[in-house]
Structure 1
Amino acid sequence: MSLSAGDQLKYWGIAALVFAIVLWFLGHVLLPFVLGMAIAYFLDPLADRLQRWGLSRGAATAVITAGAVLIFILAALLVIPSLVSQTVDLIDLVPVLVNRLQEFLAQHFPNALDEGSPARNALASLGQAIKERGPALFEKLLGSVGSVINVIVLLVIVPVVAVYMLLDWDRMTARIDKLLPRDHAPVVRRLARDIDSSLAGFIRGMGTVCLILGTYYAVALMALGLQFGLVVGFVAGILTFIPYLGAMIGGALAIGLALFQFWGDWGWVAAVTGVFLLGQFAEGNFLTPKLVGNSVGLHPVWLILALSVFGALFGFVGMLVAVPLMAAIGVIARFAIDQYLKSSLYGGVSGSATNLVHGAQERDQP
């Protein structure tokens, strides 16, 4: 016998509460597995395509793994050392940038930097604080990440989990499908397809957009001779995942560094600005519509709210699960609204919603 709506709501509420408690207490333990699952989910379409080309699932997983190892080795040898070095140098350069800003303000706005003025004290303390605490903050960030994940997890556990998940992805989804309640299986499958479409449009699409834009910004800025161009491109590429934030922070950082490095040579400053304008034009008109499309259903405000709330409550693992949960909630909410519009609660006991709408239209006609 099917459960009543009240009983179903109670059990799903208990399941959600258990999930939140597990995430709260075991988030740091689950992190490598969540990362591995996310990587496998991202790469599953590639494995499916290789299977359609004639490879077995095991062979497709082996090809993807070999390619990932090669990319990791190249990144470890060519990109990561330069990225870390430029980040440390940029932190050391901040006091110089603050002093340059002080000189500029003293020249053009002398009253703003009178002895003992709030602006002068704030700039002096800002430069000294970043100089002293910047490296410590960087080391603390690495240390906190290392305490949660550590080097062994990053280099061993996450890739191993991703490989096994990718190898068994189709079998796992088939097994889960067999465990669905038979009465509700068609509805659950339809909701799962909608959630997968939403996630595929956002995670895979935005991940590809972040990679393309980050590479473009880094290569273009380094080609222009901008110092720390690799760091700026890396930051702008990652933050593109959050709508508008990557462009604002990356653009402000790049243009600020360009003003410091090319002051007086406005052509180079304009070139750096043009790099970001071109990147944003390509993202808004080509990359995002083509790779992400309109299937996501996640408003930027809800996305930023979800990342902030889940990040504050559950840390980094909370940020990882925020987008899938919001996508699922969005799909379920749209399904609930659709059911409500078809119900007698909306249409009334005397007729369906459709009949009421048609009747109202007929009454409005002269």
Structure 2
Amino acid sequence: MTIDRTSRWLPLVVLLLLGALLYQLSPILSPFLVGILLAYLGDPLVDRLERWGASRTWGVILVFTLFSLILLLLLVVLLPMLGRQLMHLYELAPLALDWLQVTGLPWIQAQFGLSEEFWRFDQIKSAFSANLGSTKDIVTVILSQATASSLALLAWLANLLLVPVVCFYLLRDWDLIMAKLRGLLPRRREETVMGLMRECHEVIGAFLRGQLLVMLALAVVYSVGLMLVGVDLGLLIGVLAGLASLVPYMGFVVGIGAAIIAVLFQFGLELYPLLGVVAVFTVGQMLEGMLLTPLLVGDRIGLHPVAVIFAVLAGGQLFGFAGVLLALPVAAVIMVLLRHVHDLYKLSDLYAEPPGPGTPVEPPKQ
């Protein structure tokens, strides 16, 4: 009896100890988590190259080269454009403060009967303008802050260099690692656990390969559409709206709000740019709802928007940027497990209907 009771509690104790260990090691886990994520994304490509006759090592090298070229393209083409738009936004901020002080806030004061000294906006504007005049080069400021602590900079560079190393070795030995982990499963529970793992794999794959493609497609649609309308910050707003589409409808709300504000500052109350912004985001929502999400993601994730927000915030709080990347896949796995717990609960005696007045009651087993 004691052995059976101990064997029941042992997995829970092991999980609690493992969770405590991971929490204590969270400062150094980021490169490993990102490496695992990249290896998981690249494994289907390597498997396909193996089916075409390539060796595992050469398949990993080819996939690694593809990832590197995509990253290089982002660094060479996209990041400088986003940097210029960020600088433009930084320089437009005092004009936005002027508009708020001269037009926006007086209208709010008149509508709600607030006193003229309620906002104290002169101090905010002067402080921001002074800071803007003394820090024209944001990159220089960031680098100066980063190099203030050489140890922190070296640790950051080491973590950055660890990501491709961890990804390469995990990707090369992925099938071997999965086979060894399967060999450790209890023989009587192997099929049940593998069924759960296959369902988790479908959900995670739907998110990682589906939702990320949806975000990328929306970012392209929004950015190209806003630049065709003539919005100066079109690329920046489009990328932010694409990233925000991780949460359902959040990308539409954030993107159209930021785009309308940018159009008002750039064109004033001209009707055609405003209609162009509305048309761009309407087309984006129609593509997402009728084509992109059904085709690329489907209904296999099924996370509530509030659960998505909580998972992203919790992942960022626990593991930083890597936690944000892994938050929704982990939440999707938890959802799969909870679904099976729910099914087991429905089949258990705890959920069963109470016996009726005429139902014979079985005597307790000796």
Structure 2 length as normaliser, TM-score?
A: 0.82
**Paired amino acid for 2:190:** A
* Equivalent residue, structure 2, for 1:309: 314
- CA-CA distance at 1:74 after TM superposition: 2.1
Aligned counterpart in structure 1 of residue 282 of structure 2, from 270, 277, 282: 277
Letter in 2 for 1:329: I
In 2, the alpha carbon distance for the partners of 1:34 and 1:238 equals 20
Q: Distance in 1 between matches of 2:220 and 2:63?
A: 21
The offset of 1:346, in angstroms, is 3.0
Q: 1:41 matched to which residue of 2?
A: 40
Within 5 A, what are the aligned runs for 1:246-285? 246-285=251-290
* Alpha carbons 2:31, 2:162 under 8 Å: kept: yes
Cα deviation code 1:104-145 (max 9, x no counterpart): 3378667369873424x2x545555665779789949x959x
Counterpart in the other structure of 1:232:
237
Shift of 1:195: 1.0
> Could you tell me whether the CA contact under 8 Å between 2:219 and 2:242 is conserved in 1?
yes
- For 2:231 and 2:158, locate their aligned partners in 1 and report how far apart those are by CA, in whole Å: 35
- Structure 1 letter corresponding to 2:229: L
- Matched-pair contact (CA < 8 Å) for 1:199–1:324: yes
1:92 Cα deviation from its structure 2 partner:
2.7
Counterpart AA for 2:334 = I
Tell me the CA shift for residue 36 of structure 1. Answer: 0.9
CA–CA distance in 1 between the matches of 2:332 and 2:216? 22
User: Is the alpha carbon distance of 1:80 and 1:152 closer, same or farther for their aligned partners in structure 2, counting shifts above 3 Å?
Assistant: farther
Picking from 209, 214, 219, the partner of 2:219 is 214
Aligned position for 1:361? none
CA contact (8 A) 1:95 1:131 kept: yes
Which residue identity does 1:11 align to in structure 2? L
For residues 53-90 of structure 1, give each alpha carbon's deviation from its aligned partner in whole angstroms, at most 9, with x where no partner exists.
33332232222222222222222221112212321321
Are 1:347 and 2:346 an aligned pair?
no
Q: Are residues 244 and 100 of structure 1, via their aligned partners in 2, closer, same or farther at CA, if it must alter by over 3 Å?
A: same
Identical residues among aligned pairs (%):
34
Q: How many matched pairs?
A: 347
Residue 362 of structure 1: aligned partner: none
For residues 194 and 133 of structure 1, the distance between their equivalents in structure 2, rounded to whole angstroms, comes to 53
1:201·1:296 contact (CA, 8 Å) conserved in 2?
yes
**Structural mapping, 1:2-81, within 5 Å:** 4=4, 7=6, 10-81=9-80
Preserved CA contact (<8 Å) 1:91 1:131: no
Q: Is the contact made by 1:28 and 1:149 (CA closer than 8 Å) also made in structure 2?
A: no
Specify whether residues 151 and 344 from structure 1 end up closer, same or farther in structure 2 by C-alpha distance, changes over 3 A only.
Answer: same
| Amino acid across the alignment from 1:150 | W
Q: Is the 8 A contact 1:91 1:130 kept in 2?
A: no
**CA separation of 1:220/1:127 partners in 2, compared to 1, >3 Å: closer, same or farther?**
farther
> How far apart are 1:9 and its partner, in Å?
5.2
Q: Does 1:116 align with 2:122?
A: no
Q: Distance in 1 between matches of 2:208 and 2:7?
A: 30
Q: Distance in 1 between matches of 2:125 and 2:321?
A: 29
Residue identity in the other structure for 1:220: G
Residue equivalent to 1:360? none
1:28–1:317: 8 Å Cα contact kept in structure 2? no
Deviation (angstroms), 1:291: 0.8
CA distance in 2: counterparts of 1:157 and 1:239, whole angstroms? 28
Provide, for residues 246-289 of structure 1, a one-character-per-residue CA deviation record: whole Å limited to 9, x for no partner.
Answer: 22222211121011111132201211221112111111221111
1:328 to 333, 336, 339: 333
In the alignment, structure 1 segments of 5+ residues that lack a partner are 357-366
1:286 is matched with 291
Partner deviation per Cα, 1:213-240 (whole Å, 9 max, x = no partner)? 1122222222332112221122112222
The CA distance in 1 between the partners of 2:118 and 2:351, in whole Å, is 60
Offset of residue 147 of structure 1: 5.6
* Contact 2:207–2:329, Cα closer than 8 Å, also in 1: no
